[in-house]
């Protein structure tokens, strides 16, 4: 629930967001196409509003009700399920203990051991499945194997895997013994992998021999081997035989195959009872500095938030066929599959590789064969399907598909309507949500089957969450005005710190608007119907196909190239990915040779990964700077996208550089 904005200040809109997007003005409410299931106990939007008001009045009591639907080893003091605040530090369910793995795996294996837990499809057509009992047994044995390798409570395990069955077991094995897992996106470069392992001091790396992406093998074990000499903390590397390569280099005493490790492990680890606010895992996300930051999420707190999110946003039924298309390296997958969906007892699909390879028909084929009723994905995929055309869907039966949920980047109204018409033929509920890696859930969302959607909006705040949109002085803005999105109340899924850098945690998120407001660094508005619209970033992060990338991290890579004097990276619109990087560089006077844009682009790929491949690298003669010397990236973005800079230029050291840059860019177009 947001605060009343009727008497708010009308100034201080984030630069570049002065105009309300046209799609906000033109959007309309679209009711759910089918009645509520009844599982939620909510049937009308008024029911949701009443629940949200009750949660706002006593958030501790509300979240205690949610948590009581899960299994705990010991409870919390009834009088104080929430202590502290955003400003002081907070704890939900203090003193209570439980285990994430028990809630997501064991309790369903006990109730229905033969229920499908995960069905996996490889890009090469290989398929495998695990029941809940098979997932439980593998998880418990691997947890014991990790214990035998010296991994204990509070130690870090790096998981460098694609979407595999073993990824589920590795994550829940860590939860089971109280180790912290850190999934590293399998598309990252060796250096990006090394940076994250060095920061965490991981004892064990879990990887595979190789995976496939767009028909090309990606040798993940070989990637790990390139940097192991830089990683003194790593004692063991566990290798899943994804492809069965015969020539995987294995160092005796350090490297061991996953299947052989399980074969020699005869016992199963018992789940450890962990305090509700104890760290459960780390997820690295990009920020406004070159160094990625490791967000600390609590284990049981994250479980409560993910369960709540899947319950209200997806309304999953036990054994329902469900697919989250995200890569396991991005937090969407733990929220909406590995933890959230399994906590609801769903039967999940996990897919390796690109969803449009070898053709865009792959998405439709997988939905049809798995008989998926609900899919969680990113707007990038829907735009890709729309761009490919309707012919790829021909002959595929999607009649079982009831709900399409999305997160990761702004969703445009035309894409919303395309999905409604072509994926669901008017029967499909579309739920566009909003959240961040820091929030641990998509806290802005429709309630599935109950509340109406607005094409392009993020719905409303789910019960248990409160936000406020403010100007640059921290004053609430009126409805319809763009401002800075802040959260004003703690909830269980909110991250608890930055690994090894508590000062950065407070300075980056709880300083600009005071210690009692979480600063999302997103620009947003609330419309007249109370729907939230997130319209862009106000820091140096861009969304590429729902993956957050730091412009500073990319700029650092470019500045390391011989002959580069300055570098600036901005995000520009892309028809499928939402945004892509566009890099500007200037050449040093003593450069040994003219800068090669193709080589610089490849340098970004090597430093960050293929996801960071820029639209272009533009070698320019100068940069727009403030009087203090700061490059004004907003103006570069305007020049690249519109050919002119319309924003405020009064702070520039030399406004004439804009006409020089405009001329240089026009010669390239």
Over residues 294-320, the pLDDT tens digits come to 999 999 999 999 999 999 999 999 999
Q: Among 84-88, 536-540, 663-667, which stretch is predicted with the lowest mean pLDDT?
A: 536-540
369 token code pair: 């064969």
Model pLDDT for residues 469-522, shown as the tens digit of each residue: 999 999 999 999 999 999 999 999 999 999 999 999 999 999 999 999 999 999
Distance from C-alpha of 299 to C-alpha of 275, rounded to nearest angstrom: 9
pLDDT of residue 175: 98
- Which range (27-41, 218-232, 598-612, 629-643) has the least confidence? 629-643
d(CA 423, CA 429): 10
Number of CB atoms found within 10 A of residue 390's CB? 11
pLDDT at 1: 44
Q: Please name which of 557, 561, 668, 654 lies closest in space to residue 620, comparing C-alpha atoms.
A: 668
Question: Over 70: is that where the pLDDT of 195 sits?
Answer: yes
Contact yes or no for 523/17 (Cβ under 8 A): yes
pLDDT band at residue 398, thresholds of 50, 70 and 90? very high
> Measured between alpha carbons, how far is 319 from 632 in angstroms, rounded to an integer?
52
pLDDT band of residue 526 (cuts 50, 70, 90) is very high
The reported pLDDT for the residue numbered 289 is 42
Kindly tell me if the per-residue pLDDT of 177 is higher than 50: yes
Where is average pLDDT lowest: 169-183, 273-287, 507-521?
273-287
**Contact, 81 vs 487, CB < 8 A?**
no
Output the pLDDT for position 455: 92
- Mean local confidence (pLDDT), 585-601: 90
Bridge partner residues of 119 (DSSP): 129, 349
Query: What is the average pLDDT value for the chain, to the nearest integer?
Result: 91
Q: State percent of the chain over pLDDT 70.
A: 94
CA distance 646 to 56: 41
- Return the structure tokens found at 240: 């899943």
pLDDT of residue 5: 33
Q: Could you tell me what percent of the chain has a pLDDT over 90?
A: 71
Q: Identify the pLDDT of residue 220.
A: 97
The Cβ-side half-sphere exposure at 128, using a 13 Å CA radius, reads 13
Over range 621-633, report the average pLDDT. Answer: 74
> Burial level of 173, CB count in 10 A (0-12/13-18/19+)?
buried
CB atoms within 10 A of CB 561: 18
Which is it for strands 347-351 and 321-324: parallel, antiparallel or unpaired?
parallel
pLDDT per residue as tens digits for the range 220-261: 999 999 999 999 999 999 999 999 888 999 999 999 999 999
Q: Please state the separation of Cα 402 from the chain's center in Å.
A: 23
What is the distance in angstroms between the CA of the first residue and the CA of the last residue of the chain? 46
Q: Tell me, what's the pLDDT at 522?
A: 92
pLDDT tens digits, residue range 104-139? 999 999 999 999 999 999 999 999 999 999 999 999
Count CA atoms within 13 Å of residue 278 on its CB side. 19
pLDDT exceeds 50 at position 384 = yes
Least confident of 285-299, 424-438, 492-506: 285-299
* Rounded Cα distance, 80 and 60, in Å: 7
Q: Model-level pTM?
A: 0.87
> Is the pLDDT assigned to residue 287 strictly greater than 60?
no
Task: Kindly report which listed range (38-52, 191-205, 279-293, 605-619) carries the lowest average pLDDT score.
Answer: 279-293
User: What is the pLDDT, as a whole number, of residue 474?
Assistant: 96
| Mean pLDDT in residue range 429-446 | 97
CA angle 104, 203, 242 (to 5 degrees): 60
């Amino acid at each position: 629930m947001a605060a009343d904005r009727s008497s708010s200040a009308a100034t201080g809109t984030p630069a570049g967001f002065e105009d309300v997007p046209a799609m906000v003005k033109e959007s309309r409410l679209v009711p759910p196409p089918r009645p509520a299931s009844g599982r939620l106990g909510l049937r009308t939007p008024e029911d949701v509003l009443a629940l949200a008001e009750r949660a706002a009045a006593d958030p501790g009591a509300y979240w205690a009700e949610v948590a009581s639907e899960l299994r705990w080893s010991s409870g919390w003091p009834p009088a104080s399920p929430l202590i502290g605040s955003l400003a002081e530090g907070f704890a939900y369910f203090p003193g209570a203990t439980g285990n994430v793995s028990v809630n997501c795996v064991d309790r369903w294996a006990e109730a229905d051991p033969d229920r499908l837990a995960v069905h996996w499809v490889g890009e090469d057509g290989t398929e495998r499945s695990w029941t809940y009992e098979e997932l439980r047994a593998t998880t418990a044995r691997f947890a014991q194997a990790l214990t035998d390798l010296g991994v204990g409570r509070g130690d870090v395990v790096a998981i460098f895997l694609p979407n595999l069955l073993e990824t589920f077991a590795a994550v829940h094995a860590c939860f089971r013994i109280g180790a912290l897992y850190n999934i590293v996106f399998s598309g990252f470069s060796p250096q990006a992998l090394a940076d994250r392992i060095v920061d965490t001091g991981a004892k064990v790396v879990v990887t595979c021999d190789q995976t496939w992406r767009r028909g090309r093998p990606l040798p993940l074990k070989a990637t790990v081997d390139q940097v192991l000499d830089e990683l003194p903390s790593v004692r063991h590397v566990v290798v899943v035989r994804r492809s069965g390569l015969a020539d995987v280099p294995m160092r005796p005493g350090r490297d061991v195959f996953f299947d052989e490790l399980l074969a020699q492990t005869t016992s199963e680890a018992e789940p450890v009872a962990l305090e509700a606010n104890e760290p459960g895992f780390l997820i690295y996300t990009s920020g406004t500095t070159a160094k990625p930051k490791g967000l600390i999420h609590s284990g049981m707190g994250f479980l409560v938030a993910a369960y709540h999110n899947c319950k209200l946003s997806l309304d999953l039924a036990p054994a329902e066929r469900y697919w989250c298309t995200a890569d396991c390296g991005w937090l969407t997958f733990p929220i909406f599959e590995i933890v959230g969906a399994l906590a609801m007892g769903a039967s999940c699909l996990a897919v390796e590789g690109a969803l449009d390879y070898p053709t865009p028909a792959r998405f439709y084929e997988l939905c049809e064969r798995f008989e998926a009723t609900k899919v969680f994905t990113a707007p990038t995929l829907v735009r890709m399907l729309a761009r490919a055309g309707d012919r790829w869907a021909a002959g595929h039966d999607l009649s079982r598909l009831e709900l399409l949920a999305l997160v990761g980047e702004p969703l445009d109204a035309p894409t919303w309507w395309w999905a409604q018409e072509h994926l669901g033929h008017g029967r499909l509920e579309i739920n566009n949500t909003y959240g961040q890696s820091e929030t641990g859930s998509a806290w802005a969302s429709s309630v599935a089957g109950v509340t109406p959607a607005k094409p392009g909006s993020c719905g409303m705040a789910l019960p248990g969450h409160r936000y406020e949109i403010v100007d640059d002085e921290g004053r609430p803005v009126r409805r319809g005005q763009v401002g800075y999105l802040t959260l004003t109340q703690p909830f269980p899924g909110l991250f608890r710190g930055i690994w090894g850098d508590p000062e950065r945690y407070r300075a980056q998120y709880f300083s600009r608007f005071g210690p009692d407001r979480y600063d999302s660094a997103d620009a947003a508005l609330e419309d007249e119907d109370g729907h939230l619209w997130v319209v862009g970033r106000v820091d140096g992060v861009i969304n590429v196909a729902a993956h957050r990338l730091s412009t500073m991290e990319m700029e650092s890579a470019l500045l390391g190239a011989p002959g580069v004097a300055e570098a600036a990276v901005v995000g520009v619109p892309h028809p499928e990915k939402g945004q892509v990087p566009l890099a500007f560089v200037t050449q040093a006077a003593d450069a040994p040779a003219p800068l090669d844009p193709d080589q610089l682009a490849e340098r970004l790929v090597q430093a960050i990964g293929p996801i960071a491949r820029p639209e272009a690298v533009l070698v320019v003669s100068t940069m727009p700077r403030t009087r203090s010397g700061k490059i004004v990236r907003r103006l570069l973005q305007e020049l690249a996208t519109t050919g002119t800079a319309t924003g405020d230029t009064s702070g520039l050291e030399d406004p004439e550089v804009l006409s020089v840059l405009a001329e240089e860019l026009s010669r390239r177009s």
